[in-house]
Amino acid sequence: MRTGRVKRLFLYAAVLILLLGVALVLFERRGPVFDSNFPPHRTCVTDFLARRLVAEKPVPAGPHGTEWESTTLIYVLGGNQESLTARFRKAASLYHEGLARRILILERPGITEYSPELGRNLTNDEWAVRELERLKVRKKDVEAVSVRPSLFGTWSEARDVIGFAGRNGCKRLILVSSTHHTKRVLGTFSRFTRNASPELYVYGAEDSAGPGVLLKEYIKLVLYDIVP
């Protein structure tokens, strides 16, 4: 049964990729087809693809008191610096709205740009904290979470971040990622919750995603459906 399911998923993925590729070639060769409701660097075809990857789940409206803040965490999913910059802006906005007192980031080994103040290169985590501090997030409210590596990055984050949340009395987890990543994020993290705890909310941060990035995301959606 499982072998047949896997074969069907790969078949569907191959057909989807072929159709999307043909559509993109046909539309892009005719020149940009702009939609006035979206940024001009994105075509109608790109937006069509992107919309079907979105699954945002905002926090319900209403007053959120001290208990809510103290038992809610914001987690910013990992990515490159460009995508993280957009995600940090969204996370900081939610933080300043009073939805959570703490922001979690993915612990990333390695170094990044040179800091004249420190006389050395920043670590990736130092860079992340600095960017959030620039957005008026207090340093003590930012924590890097270690995630065990695996072939599927978002799956690893879901497994270990949900575990971290449970150990720290978290009742609600607000996830922040790129908008086109939200459908996979919500589906993956939901697989690790027990009895709907912690409650999950998802926000997307707008960043540039061309047709190639979106096609890869469709492929990943299919692959993640196979992961046990």
120-166 pLDDT tens trace: 999 999 999 999 999 999 999 999 999 998 888 899 999 999 999 99
Among 28, 34, 56, 36, which residue's Cα sits nearest to residue 215?
A: 28
pLDDT digits (tens, 9 = 90+) for 19-36: 566 555 544 444 443 333
Contacts of 137 (CB under 8 A, 6+ apart): 91, 92, 95, 103
Residues 6+ apart with CB under 8 A from 38: 47
Instruction: Give the C-alpha distances (Å, rounded to integers) separating 182 from 117, 120, 196, 212.
Output: 36, 35, 18, 17
* All structural domains of the chain: 66-207 (3.40.50.620)
Q: Is residue 93 scored above 60 in pLDDT? A: yes
- Report yes or no: 73 and 102 within 8 Å, Cβ to Cβ: yes
Residues contacting residue 86 through CB under 8 Å, at least 6 positions apart: 178, 205, 206, 207
State pTM to two decimals: 0.81
